Amino acid sequence: MSLDLALGIARSGLAAVQRSLAQASQNVANAETPGYVRKKVEQRSLVVAEMPAGLRSGDTQRAVDLALLGRLDRSRGATAAATLREELLTGIEQAHGATADRATLGDAVAVLSTAFTALQAAPADAGQQRAALAAAGAVARRLNDVSAAIGAARQQAQDGIVTEVATANAALKQIATLTVLIKSGTGGDQAGLEDQRDQAIAALSESMEIQAVRKPDGDLLLIARGGLVLPLDPARDLLATAPASVAPDAFHGAGGTLPGITLNGVDVTGQIAGGRLGEYVAMRDRTLPRYQAETDLVAANLASRFDRQGLTLFTDADGSTVPDPALPYAGSAQAGFAGRIQLGSAVSADPSLLRDGTHAVTPSAGGPDGFIPNLPGGPAGFATMIERVLSYSLGAEASKGNPWPPIASAGLGPDGTLASPFMPAARIADYASAVTAAQLGDRAAATEAKAQAAGLQNALNDRFTATSGVDVDAEMAGMVTLQNAYAANAKVISTLQAMWDSLLGAMR
């Protein structure tokens, strides 16, 4: 080996060690920087004519397990969705009342039954009449509160869709801009640009569940859950929607008034899934409209069953109208009725009508028996109306041997496409309790899902940090090794210099 070749090899070693030391220093300096992954300089031995020719430093390489990174991004979307779902459902749970305190909607109906039982023992007692009226008012207010909470959550979901679309658009444009720089190689630190792009993908994955397919030339393909391909364009927003006010009868779809989400002008609302955006859509268009319909059915059937027995105890906002639960829910006055239900104007003005009844009932086949109200000046102990309430209005039958028509479990929602996840009970108190249990159970399930998703995300993040993060101790140990290699190469150069000096001295 010639002295020139040995000198070249030593110089290339010095250059390689210097670059590796610089990268190790950068790793240590950025150990706590969010999104930064460990990097190393690729080194390759050179051989010329079967003779060693030193080292060549290649591009900086990121220590990233892309499969693990993809799983981590998906877990971010699942955690964000479950957290959002728990947040929206918590307000509804609070409106339902505390189960432990026996203050739920079903409990309120049970208290109403107790109040009528007490009134049965003393029909003419004005205090018992007022107590029963107060219990009825409590049921109406509980229905109002639950309906208001559902409406507020649904409006929050609609507003959240607008916010998340803007967030997703910003992330998509950032990803597109970084991808252009990475592909062209004009952005400087390529590995650093890829770190930034991974951060933008992580942010997008919280808005909607995506799969990022990285190509060898630096290009990127984003596929949303369900196969929806998201094109990359740094110059414009790809997704679009619009703000809206959400009423109980509002829905998205043919004939609906709620805006969808479009991708390049095409409605893709039904294809959006996962992440906060997918959860907002699911809550606005499926979960919360079902909740509203179930709560409305409690109110409509409660009002109708009292009214059909001869006591207009609950009405719509006009003080006299009672919805017909036999009609299909979609498009009927039942939609939103839980938010409008109130005590009938007649019984509010005269609580003694709870004893006497408000109107006569004509007997019908399979329906309630006939009833004639207590006339003015009639018996103070008149209890027929109260008995009808306890046996039939709050019972499972319209009359002896004739069950009430089943409460609807399908055809729910403002567009009639939704269904309850349980079979409706015959008694209104039992149905109200089932509605409360189902809706509160969803909140509990959301909390459990959030805990599981967060646990998985933390575990994946720990694994990712272990494989791709910066271990300062390991980097410092590596820097000591590099320093030793630098010293060895420097020693070779100094030895070669001495040999050159000796050779030149011998030739003088």
Summarize pLDDT for 406-444 with one digit per residue, the tens.
999 999 999 999 999 999 999 999 999 999 999 999 999
Q: What is the mean pLDDT of residues 4-30?
A: 61
From the list 156, 118, 148, 122, the residue with the least C-alpha distance to 134 is: 118
Secondary structure letter of residue 232 according to DSSP: -
What DSSP element (H or E) covers 240?
strand 239-240
The predicted pLDDT at position 466 comes to 79
- pLDDT of 30 above 70: no
Q: How far apart are CA 134 and CA 383, in angstroms?
A: 19
Q: How far apart are CA 385 and CA 368, in angstroms?
A: 12
Q: Which residues contact 338 (CB under 8 A, 6 or more apart)?
A: 143, 144, 146, 147, 292, 295, 296, 298, 299
Q: How far apart are CA 39 and CA 64, in angstroms?
A: 9
The predicted pLDDT at position 491 comes to 63
- pLDDT of 496 above 60: no
pLDDT band at 42 (very low <50, low <70, confident <90, very high): low
Token pair 């992330």 is at which residue?
Answer: 171
- pLDDT of 90 above 60: yes
Each residue's pLDDT tens digit, 300-327? 999 999 999 999 999 999 999 999 999 9
The predicted pLDDT at position 218 comes to 85
- pLDDT of 51 above 90: no
The predicted pLDDT at position 503 comes to 64
DSSP letters spanning 384-448: HHHHHIIIIITSSEEETTEEPPPPP-EEESTTS-EE-SSPPPSSHHHHHHHHHHHHHHHHHHHHH
Q: Which residues contact 148 (CB under 8 A, 6 or more apart)?
A: 95, 339
pLDDT band at 85 (very low <50, low <70, confident <90, very high): very high
Least confident of 70-74, 95-99, 222-226, 431-435: 95-99
pTM of the model: 0.86
The predicted pLDDT at position 58 comes to 52
From the list 340, 363, 350, 364, the residue with the least C-alpha distance to 312 is: 350
Extended beta strands in 285-412, E state: 314-315, 342-343, 397-399, 402-403, 410-412
Q: How far apart are CA 189 and CA 191, in angstroms?
A: 6
Q: What is the mean pLDDT of the chain?
A: 87
Each residue's pLDDT tens digit, 415-424? 999 999 999 9
Q: Which residues contact 474 (CB under 8 A, 6 or more apart)?
A: none
Percent of the chain with pLDDT over 70: 80
Strand order in the sheet with 220-224: 210-214, 220-224, 228-230
Q: How far apart are CA 396 and CA 398, in angstroms?
A: 7
Q: How far apart are CA 61 and CA 38, in angstroms?
A: 9
Q: Residue 491: is it exposed, middle or buried by C-beta count within 10 angstroms (0-12/13-18/19+)?
A: exposed
Most confidently predicted of 88-97, 224-233, 241-250, 268-277: 241-250
The predicted pLDDT at position 311 comes to 98
Tell me if 212 sits within 8 A of 201, measured CB to CB.
yes
Query: Buried b vs exposed e over 253-274: b needs ≥16 C-beta within 10 Å?
Result: eeeeebbbbbbeeeebbebbbb
- More confident: 49 or 477: 477
The predicted pLDDT at position 480 comes to 62
Give the CA count within 13 Å in the CB-facing half-sphere of 330. 17
Spell out the domain ranges in the chain.
3-63+472-507, 70-455
Tokens matching residue 118: 């007490």
The predicted pLDDT at position 486 comes to 58
Each residue's pLDDT tens digit, 212-259? 988 888 889 999 887 889 999 999 999 999 999 999 999 999 999 999
Each residue's pLDDT tens digit, 100-154? 667 788 899 999 999 999 999 999 999 999 999 999 999 999 999 999 999 999 9
The predicted pLDDT at position 34 comes to 73
- More confident: 16 or 222: 222
The predicted pLDDT at position 13 comes to 59
Each residue's pLDDT tens digit, 185-216? 776 778 888 888 899 999 999 999 999 988 88
Percent of the chain with pLDDT over 90: 65
- More confident: 472 or 88: 88
Secondary structure letter of residue 371 according to DSSP: B
The predicted pLDDT at position 142 comes to 95
Beta pairing class for 314-315 and 266-267: unpaired
